[in-house]
Structure 1
């Protein structure tokens, strides 16, 4: 038997190989990142010009209004701020999840940036990581060209101006896209860990948790039906562990709010005070019913287009985690009682809805045709973003 000195040692990790793979992944994604950055640059340029003409400060529009102010206050002072409304209602900062303000505080601590500047920086970097994650999902399913176009189309989403603001949607989309990519590759622990972070970012992580759980359950049922009953859980231990990890971020924040407020249902009470309870779509139906007929018909047409996109995703036979995630984000965005104007923004992380248009656009024979379509969408998105940010209402 060999002694300690002659026993073979485990091979050291090849850091050069790891760096090479990371470089190769980034190089492959470069066209998608460039396309996304170009689309968002159009939005920022139009906003800057419009803000200058209106005598307003574009950076303040991106980092100093609406929800971004709540996140920055948490980053600076922690939780504990409340606002009492004229009708006696109370808005608590506990409605806002902690990952973005934690990152804002960390970036501001190690850079010369203010917390506001840190929030915008985090959002812009998260946008690039989101575009990268969206690209790798699209490229894995339908090829590199579709992946590039998918990232570009997401950057030209109608409410894509929020991607440049100190909001959570961009960070959440980045974590969700990479979590789905890990699940598609069978890297379930990584998928679950990224879902934990997503659960610390937005409540809509429930859609991602459901996507991983249903995909894992479907995999187990398929193996069980094929006769692989013996050792089923042992063979799939990493998948089971990843699925069990997935909801822990969201649950941890719910428990934190419950302990802080001294009530097991405090989180849901806080959200209800903000009007964010689940009503099954009654608020949406009431909003449509209260509109003038032309506006109601237009909104119904937009919802019909949304339903058509969902149908195309099903017809496209998207992998189960991708399909469930996309539909889940749509459902979560529509069945709440919150302010209607926020719903398009809440649906922005549902990038799988853009897969059918991206694949169709990829079939165009000329790259110039593809570029023209993306450019037109980018200009339209930029104009809408500037108009919204320069107006009085929240996104």
Structure 2
């Protein structure tokens, strides 16, 4: 990050060669800073034809609220407070992932899985004022408690997850399938667990749409959240369509529509591979549901790499592929080099033909 900052030109967030905290306070971090300073607007800003403009409602509240709390206690401003919260959450996520992975692997293999997560090519985002590290921490905790059957402990983690990152829909699907599978197994399913699991399922379903409802309540506009989310893409949300459009843009109209289908096929094969089967059914279901969620709602662009971070259970699968230290260290070296590529390629500001820039 410091090396990239040394080569940075002037940008909307600062002048040439900014210091570290200024350099990492870009793109989404700038929106969180607006929330930190002034909260959320009570009306959705729109242009003359009524189209929503980018605004704070696309960004969830837990991360900036924690930064505000740290600031109130220490007197730190946004750049330092945001970076400290993000980095501390990244450490917490790594520790929580280790606990989660030990449900399926020896401590040594679990630690290698954490190493793969921590050195993943986009892992530098865990230190910048984005909500990724916080979301991963709550997700890992919620999955751990769900797998252990501690549904009441999973409940607050799900609530905080759904107010940190948009991951409620795939998680609710995981809870539903977990409960159905447990119900079908010929194992004890005490009434207290049935009640707790049902409450968790209902809460997950409600929280999946909670931020959308809050935006509606505050602004008085039913489509406040969805209009805001689609403001960056410049078109209405049509499920699955952006991936087919991206395929056409990449390889043309003949083979373009085949790319998403090929992606789904390859993902299905990988999720059924020997190494992935070793991570447990719930983690496999989470990865499948999250991939399906991204396929349904995500507009593929440069931020897609960052959106893959919640697929961290596959880091354990990567550790299961081989016990060879040469293999495992080679993966870490490769990831380290790709970190440099990601930071230099996407963290630098460079305008593109549309007048915007590639966001990390």
TM-score (norm 1): 0.75
Aligned pair partner of 2:4 in 31, 35, 50: 50
CA distance in 2: counterparts of 1:119 and 1:270, whole angstroms: 23
Give the structure with the larger helix fraction: 1
Aligned pair partner of 2:270 in 306, 309, 314: 309
Cα deviation for residue 337 of structure 1 reads 4.9
Aligned pair partner of 2:23 in 45, 56, 61: 61
1:358 aligns with 2:316: no
Aligned to 1:10: none
SS at match of 1:166: coil
Aligned pair partner of 2:61 in 89, 98, 103: 98
**Contact 2:276 2:314 survives alignment (8 Å):** no
CA distance in 1: counterparts of 2:226 and 2:70, whole angstroms: 30
Aligned to 2:306: 345
**Matched pairs, number:** 338
Aligned to 1:40: none
Cα deviation for residue 165 of structure 1 reads 1.7
Aligned to 2:227: 269
Aligned to 2:242: 283
Structure 2 unaligned regions, length at least 5: 9-15, 351-357
Quickly say closer, same or farther: Cα 1:86–1:118, change in 2 above 3 A.
Answer: farther
Cα deviation for residue 69 of structure 1 reads 1.0
For the aligned residues, what is the CA RMSD?
3.1
CA distance in 2: counterparts of 1:369 and 1:337, whole angstroms: 33
SS at match of 2:102: helix
Quickly say closer, same or farther: Cα 1:242–1:291, change in 2 above 3 A.
Answer: closer
1:169-218 deviation per Cα after TM superposition (whole angstroms, max 9, x unaligned): 21111100011111122211111220111011111232222212221232
CA distance in 2: counterparts of 1:263 and 1:301, whole angstroms: 36
1:211-360 maps to which residues of 2 (within 5 A)?
A: 211-223=174-186, 233-234=191-192, 236-275=194-233, 278-291=237-250, 303=263, 306=267, 308-312=269-273, 316=277, 318-360=279-321
SS at match of 1:290: helix
**Contact 2:44 2:224 survives alignment (8 Å):** no
1:381 aligns with 2:339: yes
TM-score (norm 2): 0.82
Cα deviation for residue 106 of structure 1 reads 0.9
Between structure 1 and structure 2, the one with the greater Rg is 1
**Contact 1:172 1:198 survives alignment (8 Å):** yes
CA distance in 2: counterparts of 1:316 and 1:120, whole angstroms: 36
Aligned to 2:71: 108
Quickly say closer, same or farther: Cα 1:65–1:301, change in 2 above 3 A.
Answer: farther
**Contact 1:193 1:242 survives alignment (8 Å):** no
CA distance in 1: counterparts of 2:71 and 2:329, whole angstroms: 37
Structure 1 unaligned regions, length at least 5: 1-46
Cα deviation for residue 49 of structure 1 reads 2.1
Quickly say closer, same or farther: Cα 1:278–1:232, change in 2 above 3 A.
Answer: farther
Aligned to 1:137: 100
CA distance in 1: counterparts of 2:162 and 2:172, whole angstroms: 8
CA distance in 1: counterparts of 2:174 and 2:200, whole angstroms: 12
1:80-91 maps to which residues of 2 (within 5 A)?
A: 80=41, 84=46, 89=51, 90-91=53-54
SS at match of 1:323: helix
Quickly say closer, same or farther: Cα 1:52–1:152, change in 2 above 3 A.
Answer: same
